[in-house]
A and B are shown apart, each in its own frame.
Chain A
Amino acid sequence: MCKKEVGKIIKEKNIICIMCPMGCLITVTIDDNGDILRFSGNLCKEGEKYAKAECTFAGRVLTTTILTQNSLRKLLPVKTNQPIPKEQLMDAMVFISKLKVKPPVKVGQIIVKNLMDMQVDLVATDELPM
């Protein structure tokens, strides 16, 4: 799986595996090309898979709420329909904090298409009746 150590090691990334209750602390060694050289600390192959995925794309589904207008409910819960890079979570929160929605809203309805050009949509996770 791992490439031979040709490049120079530039960083080590610590990742806690969530594949089982063990929660191995996996150290991923990455070279200057961004290639993974080796994994250490994981007890099984699942950990390697997880750590590799986390190094390539650490995505998280953002779940939050939007302020409403003309509704008895103050907030509408929403989520991104795909994970977004975890580094973008706070920026997305700032963007979403400026939004307001009016009823009616159905579950799964798209509130923002292509949120901040991340190729994900912000969708309602509950309804907002009239």
Chain B
Amino acid sequence: MESQVDVAVIGAGPAGVAAAIKAKEGGAENVTIIERDTQPGGLLHQCIHDGFGLTYFKENMTGPEYARRFIEKAMDLKINFQLGTMVLDLTAGLNVTISNKFGIQTLHARAVVLAMGCRERTRHQIMLSGTRPAGIFTAGTAQRYVNVEGYIPGKRIVILGSGDVGMIMARRLTLEGAKVEAVVEILPYIGGLIRNGVQCIHDFNIPIFLGHTITEIWGLKRVQGVTIAKVDSDGKPVLGTEKTIECDTLLISAGLIPENELSLKAGIEINPITGGPSVNEMMETAIPGIFAGGNVVHVNDLVDNVTLEGEIAGASAANAALANVISANRKINLKAGKNIRYVVPQTISAQKETTLSIRVGEPAEKVMLRIGGILSKPLRVVKPSEMLRIKLSLDQLQGLQEGIKDLEVSCAKRR
């Protein structure tokens, strides 16, 4: 079976739903979201904690509440949801092959939005040695058990990694009566937002071991404990600093990876730093007509920003579908300079106002953020866990020299 759609959005998480709404509002008639789960909303369903929507809605919402706002709007706009549907293949010619209970079908799209989000790094990806007993979960899996399925994964918990999901699970499990014995973080600072460090760890007096890692997992049938050790400046465990912590459960919260198997199938190159496709300010990938937004492009810390990126991708996809794309005749590469890990988008045309997402490499105080010669902004502190969002106005962009190829973003110490 085959059918035509204007815009096909892959993934009904916050990026995908926001993209579909903007595509429809932008004039695309047949907008279809394809989602493998049986309900839209993505990970927000299991994120029952608050802190969502603070920047987008200026309201403090929980994950399900935030998701609902957008899903209801999408329903009102008569966006077509294909739930329980897996995308099997995506081509550079914008053909999307899907599979569901009705069989296999190909959608011919005029534009595609990638919104597959990201997934968790597992024990194996961080090369954690030891036995393979029951009781080792990624933090997000444990979150699903506790908040959706109604199971507590264990009674005495150790969490490896202090990213936001890990810290939120430390609080959640404590509230549910489990004892969080330790949060172990390899870096000398917490990996997530400061708010979560305070409200999830500090509030409950949960022991946190910064600059430590797990060197061994103990137990045959069930986890019985872990060995932790201090790490040196290269992140290598220091001999003689080992300490054993008894526990029955280990949660891994060691970062997220954009999910790009489909992007690769379409022939989109993956940026080795972000783990996602490189995009321009329209959130267009290297393949014309394929756009991307949210955590599939780079891992965000706030859902509000995922929504904003999805919106740009969706609006651009509508323009592409309606064939009224203004071709970008200038292409300027954004280069990551001193203490910058990455900048999204990776290229800009400098013909419209653009907000840059900037991830720094190391925490630093009293710095000057510079974007080429067009913007200098003193900042008191920057941290890798807190994304910088910097708006470049059309005025500033018009100040760029004619013929400029690269624009360097840097974040050096102020003198």
| Alpha-carbon gap, A86 to B201, bound state (A) | 13
Neighbouring A residues of B65 by C-beta, 8 Å:
107, 125-126
Q: Decide yes or no whether A27 CB sits under 8 A from chain B.
A: no
B64 engages A21 (CB within 8 Å)? no
B48 engages A63 (CB within 8 Å)? yes
Neighbouring B residues of A60 by C-beta, 8 Å:
199, 203
B175 engages A61 (CB within 8 Å)? no
Neighbouring B residues of A74 by C-beta, 8 Å:
148-150
Neighbouring A residues of B62 by C-beta, 8 Å:
63, 77, 79, 125
Contact of A61 among B60, B195, B198 (CB under 8 A): B60
Contact of B381 among A20, A64, A77 (CB under 8 A): A20
B49 engages A21 (CB within 8 Å)? no
A126 engages B194 (CB within 8 Å)? no
Give the interface size class of chain A.
20 to 34
A22 engages B49 (CB within 8 Å)? no
Neighbouring A residues of B195 by C-beta, 8 Å:
18
Q: Decide yes or no whether A7 CB sits under 8 A from chain B.
A: no
Which residues of A49-70 have CB atoms within 8 Å of chain B's CB atoms? 60-65, 67
What 0/1 readout, one digit per residue, does chain B (186-216) give for beta carbons within 8 Å of chain A?
Answer: 0000000011011100110000000000000
Neighbouring A residues of B64 by C-beta, 8 Å:
77, 107, 125-126
| Alpha-carbon gap, A126 to B39, bound state (A) | 13
User: Taking the nearest CB of chain A, how far is it from the CB of B184, in angstroms?
Assistant: 20
What total of chain B residues lie within 8 Å of the partner, measured CB to CB?
30
A125 engages B48 (CB within 8 Å)? yes
In the complex where A22-B381, A93-B175 touch, is A16 in contact with B147 (Cβ < 8 A)?
no
User: Taking the nearest CB of chain A, how far is it from the CB of B274, in angstroms?
Assistant: 21
Q: Decide yes or no whether A43 CB sits under 8 A from chain B.
A: yes
Which of B73-81, B342-350, B382-390 forms part of the interface with chain A? B382-390
Q: Decide yes or no whether B50 CB sits under 8 A from chain A.
A: yes
| Alpha-carbon gap, A126 to B65, bound state (A) | 7
B203 engages A86 (CB within 8 Å)? yes
A23 engages B150 (CB within 8 Å)? no
User: Taking the nearest CB of chain A, how far is it from the CB of B364, in angstroms?
Assistant: 11
| Alpha-carbon gap, A61 to B175, bound state (A) | 13
What 0/1 readout, one digit per residue, does chain A (34-51) give for beta carbons within 8 Å of chain B?
Answer: 000000000100000000
A61 engages B386 (CB within 8 Å)? no
A79 engages B50 (CB within 8 Å)? yes
Neighbouring B residues of A73 by C-beta, 8 Å:
148
Q: Decide yes or no whether A75 CB sits under 8 A from chain B.
A: yes
B: residues with CB less than 8 A from A are 45, 48-50, 60, 62, 64-65, 68, 147-150, 175-177, 194-195, 197-199, 202-203, 365, 380-383, 385-386
A: residues with CB less than 8 A from B are 16-18, 20-23, 43, 60-65, 67, 73-75, 77, 79, 86, 89-90, 93, 107, 125-126
| A-B pairs with beta carbons under 8 Å apart, 17 shown | A18-B195, A21-B194, A22-B365, A23-B194, A23-B197, A43-B380, A60-B203, A63-B62, A64-B175, A64-B176, A65-B48, A65-B150, A73-B148, A75-B150, A79-B48, A93-B176, A125-B65
Known: A23-B197, A73-B148, A79-B50; 17 extra A-B contacts, CB below 8 A, are A18-B194, A18-B198, A18-B199, A20-B381, A21-B382, A21-B383, A22-B365, A22-B381, A60-B199, A61-B50, A63-B62, A64-B175, A67-B150, A75-B147, A75-B149, A77-B62, A126-B65
Which 10 residue pairs across A and B have the least CB separation, nearest first?
A74-B150, A77-B48, A126-B64, A21-B386, A23-B194, A125-B62, A22-B381, A18-B195, A21-B383, A63-B49
